[in-house]
Structure 1
Amino acid sequence: MAKHYCEVLTMDSNLPLDKQLDIGALSRLFSSTTNSYKLLFFMAILDSLQESLFKENKIRVNDLIIGMLRISFAPAKKFKLSFGSQDQIHCYIDEILSHNNQPEVTKISDTSFKKTLKQGLYKSSAIKLGKYVPYRLLQPFFEDELRGQKDAVKNKITENLAAANYDVRLPLYRIVDDYSGTYVELHPKWMEYIHLNFPILNGWVEVNWIKYLQSRNPNTPAILNKIHSYAKRNTLTKQRSLWKEYLNRYASNCIFSQVPITLANHDLDHFIPWNYIGHDQHWNLIPVLSAANSSKNDSLPSQAYINLFVASQRDFFEFCYAQNKKNAIEDYVVGLSTTANKLIESADCFNDTLAKVVSSQLEMAKIQGFRANWKYMD
């Protein structure tokens, strides 16, 4: 019965079977997840193993906490995703940054943030993650023994069970204290399993991470593009080429500055910031004065600009439709959830549809924490 239960869980989670290891327990690591900590801790373990080329199975808990915060930085601060009302990761990052007088978060590199974490972790509240998170990942391996136990004693029982059964039940790791602190010692059999199946395990935890973030950010687009510090924008080469074709034929003013747009003085701006919207669809792109684009950065433009934006977008869409620019037209159809015929047959239909989508997205981005009501000041 236990074996069948393990196989069902394994098949459902797409984790490879192993006759010696309790893959069922591994598959249940994130079955009850009220905050991000277990997910982040496991991802930090995978990162640490990969960095050591799977040669080091003893990992300091404080190093794993640093890994957790590094993984969290981009989705939490750059993309402003919520981790849930109970989760304190945002607070821990803010605390460490404030103690170290860091500049605006969008300008912090991964390397400098790692250095900041190493300098500030021991003075921050984040250090307390080590007092309970490592035990949570072991508990699925000892569910029968822990059932009915009070939370106050579960950690100690878990630690003792993992130590006593390290070479019998083969838990993921055991927790060891020495003169310099606490570390987790991964079992050699699990090291071998993780090394052999690393791409699958990495993909599995990433899927769980995305699901977790989606559940706490249900109205936020492009979660997949917001989970890594190395997430980058595309070059917009095709979009710029199409706008260049348009600007060669028609005069256009910057919607923020009212300065006439030339081929030399503009950038192609994401009206709703890319860090929120997460895509490069034509309906959200507009040529603006380079100085205005630089000033706006990741801010949300004032609602006062929406009518000018919509009017410029309507002219551009009509051009794309007349020239049969199928990819651009598809962007509007998909992004605005309508048909090309409806958008082209009535200016009012186009204006109302785009204005509603943009207003709604700006409002949701504001709620998520993006700076709102930006206006260009020459």
Structure 2
Amino acid sequence: MFADNKSLPPSYSLNISVLSQLFNSTTNSYKYLFFSALLDILERNLFDCELISFRELVVEMLANAWYPHVFFKLSFGKQDQIATKLDQLNIQSKDEAITRKNILISVINQYNVDDVINSLMRYVPFRLIRPFFAEELQGIKDYSINSNVTKLSTQLFEQKKPLYCFNCENYKLIDSIILHPEWVNYIRENFLIVKGWVAWEWLNYMQKNNSNVPNLARKLFPLVQRKSLAEQAKYWKLIIEKQPIKCIYSNNILDKNSISVDHYLPWSFVAHDQLWNLIPSIHTVNSSKSNNIPSSNYLDKFINLQHQGLVISNKILSQNEWLRYVDCYLNDLKINEPNDLLKLELLTRAYQQTFKPLISLAKIQGFSTNWNYREECG
């Protein structure tokens, strides 16, 4: 098994140590934006894509950079040209909807970005995967790096297993990357952690270039319109109707008409509303808990409540409706069979394997990880 970075899950076949070095000694924003774009494109395509064009990557990079540049005038670094490229495109809108990324991508796609592609893709795709071939590239002159990385990524695609190779042998004619399927699987299986790791590296880089900017983390990413939790609340109300349930924090019996749906791992960390991370609580708990992560003392109670909900919902819902609700459990907790969700021991193991690296990463990122509820706080 390869040695791994402390924030990234290990792999028996992929070099996670090299992955963790991709952003070492980085002097501009391009690598961060490129890798984030790659992750976003994979997620949007449900990890069912191997070839990604330079154009698609550049449009995604510009969309990711537009928000912190236009709204907050953040610096991307003295040597960085991303802000200049955005200014040249002059993408303007008084409509707040443009802050939604899908709309922003549609807007950027209407522009001629050939010049930006030629500029940003001249070095970044080649230099990003350079660490995979550190041994082979020793002593190679800088002007030969692109051509050598192009050849090595193809020749050693199955031996070194770089993130990707290219769609042409002549590096000057390349316009797409071809992702290694094993890396696609790794990213899919560990998406939340990999995404969080890249966001943390990006935050550290931007902090160096914007040291006096308060609350920087909230200024790096496009505004996300929080979705209603009505469907998740409906799920828990059905369960409460069938069996009394206690709030795991306050120990109060929950009233289905006055529950608050709580993100156990805070939304500001996970940035999703998946049911496997949501439980009912009393309103005072939710306001008191804020963006903190509960003490480990609550984890067993949380898992037991999730198990209780899964068992009851399995009995009262139709099979198709139940499978729709639990699909996110299967995917994100890496549980193979739906019926395994009903086995407390298997569910506990899956939660512990999922939560341990996520909570470690949250702690590194500055989230409080030892929150306890006190009635006087509410």
TM above 0.5? yes
With the shorter chain as reference, the TM-score category is 0.5 to 0.7
Match status 1:192 vs 2:185 = yes
Q: How does 1:177-256 map to 2 (within 5 A)?
A: 177=168, 182-230=175-223
The runs of 5 or more residues in structure 1 that have no matched partner are 234-326, 328-378
Runs of 4+ in 1 over 6 A off after TM superposition: none
> C-alpha separation between the residues in 2 aligned to 1:172 and 1:75?
27
SS of 1:167 mapped into structure 2: coil
State the 1:182 CA deviation: 1.5
> C-alpha separation between the residues in 2 aligned to 1:123 and 1:191?
27
Match status 1:164 vs 2:155 = yes
Name the CA shift for 1:181/1:158 in 2 (closer, same or farther; >3 Å).
closer
Which is further off, 42-51 or 182-191? 182-191
2:84 to 86, 91, 110: 91
Report the counterpart of residue 126 of structure 2 in structure 1: 135
Radius of gyration: which is bigger? 1
Q: TM-score, normalised by structure 2?
A: 0.55
> C-alpha separation between the residues in 2 aligned to 1:32 and 1:203?
20
2:65 to 62, 72, 79: 72
> C-alpha separation between the residues in 1 aligned to 2:80 and 2:94?
23
> C-alpha separation between the residues in 1 aligned to 2:134 and 2:114?
35
SS of 1:34 mapped into structure 2: coil
SS of 1:192 mapped into structure 2: helix
2:140 to 149, 153, 164: 149
Q: Deviations over 1:275-316 (max 9, x none)?
A: xxxxxxxxxxxxxxxxxxxxxxxxxxxxxxxxxxxxxxxxxx
Match status 1:54 vs 2:47 = yes
Match status 1:32 vs 2:31 = no
Cα RMSD after superposing both structures: 2.5
> C-alpha separation between the residues in 1 aligned to 2:42 and 2:116?
26
User: Given residue 165 of structure 2, which amino acid in structure 1 is its aligned partner?
Assistant: R
Calculate percent identity across the aligned residue pairs.
37
> C-alpha separation between the residues in 1 aligned to 2:32 and 2:206?
11
State the 1:126 CA deviation: 4.5
SS of 2:178 mapped into structure 1: strand
Q: Deviations over 1:2-57 (max 9, x none)?
A: x7xx52xx243x11111111111100000111000011100000000000001111
> C-alpha separation between the residues in 2 aligned to 1:197 and 1:169?
21
Q: TM-score, normalised by structure 1?
A: 0.55
Report the counterpart of residue 116 of structure 1 in structure 2: 107
Match status 1:81 vs 2:74 = yes
> C-alpha separation between the residues in 2 aligned to 1:127 and 1:226?
28
User: Given residue 105 of structure 2, which amino acid in structure 1 is its aligned partner?
Assistant: K
The runs of 5 or more residues in structure 2 that have no matched partner are 227-286, 288-378
Which is further off, 105-114 or 46-55? 105-114
User: Given residue 120 of structure 1, which amino acid in structure 2 is its aligned partner?
Assistant: Y
